Structure 1
């Protein structure tokens, strides 16, 4: 199996590949990555190895090219349909929108398709298998040491609410800031943080939010932390995690927070509504500022609810979303492809 990563910048797709491949190989799956921007520890092949794809492997009649982006589907179509290499093509789709005609054409050239959620699958017009992303429950875990406590942060108050991700309109950072500006004066035991990078084109967006925070006099209790060395630590320090996105592809952060035993409030963007159950937190319509603020306030007003939801979320993630489950389900698709006749999904 080959997992191409034809994008140099780090993305959610890259993170998925980096996390899954070592686990798949540990379970006996012969899979390598290919492309730029990958860590040195990851097994991978270069472009010079491509001529070998004209020959079938020792134990299988062909190899599987597992694409997750359009350009990777294009490369797969060229390798298989034009260069006639011994490949079968698999595509994982996370998009939650109607695909453009060319993308639909590419998808119809695939031998199998995976959707990362039922919502993303609803936009596909071909047979597919729904396999939701999982989370590494060893990497993301509940508080263990004193360093995992809110007190170790040195921030004022007793409880922490936060959100993580790039600072931009689509992530709903402004919705979070607006809710905190309204709520924090009424709940003095709480402090709020935002972790994540601000790109150059969003510096003005961030500055406008900083100005709003300063005008409210909340500079010490509503903070931009930027890119932190270890976001996992901050999940453990939070009592409540908020994912206020207006748009998402999939969105792993609520799973990471729940695996850290942290209560969650999310929008219904991406796959959030499919991953958060009623006991673990609350889901509100994307972009609905009053609903988001109301949901957050329920937890700020009663920190005991955070503990209850955090415990429920931890159990929910460990049962339904361990990364091992995702790897095992993908393996069933690989095996089904190896056993199938040579036909595209259309």
Structure 2
């Protein structure tokens, strides 16, 4: 069977030999800007152990998390004005990975270097470049996410660590039919409506787009807590998948008050950014933010939306990690596909096509 025509279930259950474990020559989400303050941040990404730090001038650097002297993780050290100091013998490294001071020794050895990574901070996100052996320098800029800089929206977020492969989170986010079952008390709503909602899926070699409209529905708890709807609502869910991240725009207007095809529609908006970054083959980081457009009492309303979002993602985490654990318990069992798996299948094919 050709790999390009495999379903998600078949891809999960098939070992395919590839030169690379993850897509390369692209930017991945490394951290939220808010994570980098006065302490180093240790994070393993694509099996690379990396330390991130911000110096007093606001610049962010990323180095291999290993002192070249006696191999202590640099993330156990301290940040100074011009670099990061190892917590074992005090070697000081600048953002270029060069040792600029050895305490008690006038001359710094030429080989006192650690590997560096190309990073870019924009839109309150920190991106890191991973290239193949022939493409170590970035060949493009990271994706833009201007929502974080839009004054009409307030946002916050968090970072989760998953004991599960990153593509299981892709599957979850591309198939919002699960909302009525997993998120009954937050963003869920009528389960039957979610399963039968008309879904449009389009894709190319780099992206998958999903659009679902649910007119004349009962607003779920998160929506009523955040927005003064008059009664039933016309609800939308629009998902854009890219290998490095997903953008999910959900929301609603009072039923019949605006067209769901209007890109500037009014009502309650939740614009989610979902950076799904592999840690290893079996673990990953989930870096998310939620932006919303409160009309009344903005700060308090945004706080409610973030709290409800966090509860929702907590629920997803329980399900996905339990799913993967059971997949390991039943390794020789196959899985089938149903009608809601169209978008996840296409996303998996895109990733498979990038493994060279």
Assess same fold via TM > 0.5: no
> Larger relative CO (CA 8 A, sep 6+): 1 or 2?
2
After TM superposition, the score normalised by the length of structure 1 is 0.28
Choose between structure 1 and 2: higher strand proportion: 2
Choose between structure 1 and 2: higher helix proportion: 1
After TM superposition, the score normalised by the length of structure 2 is 0.28
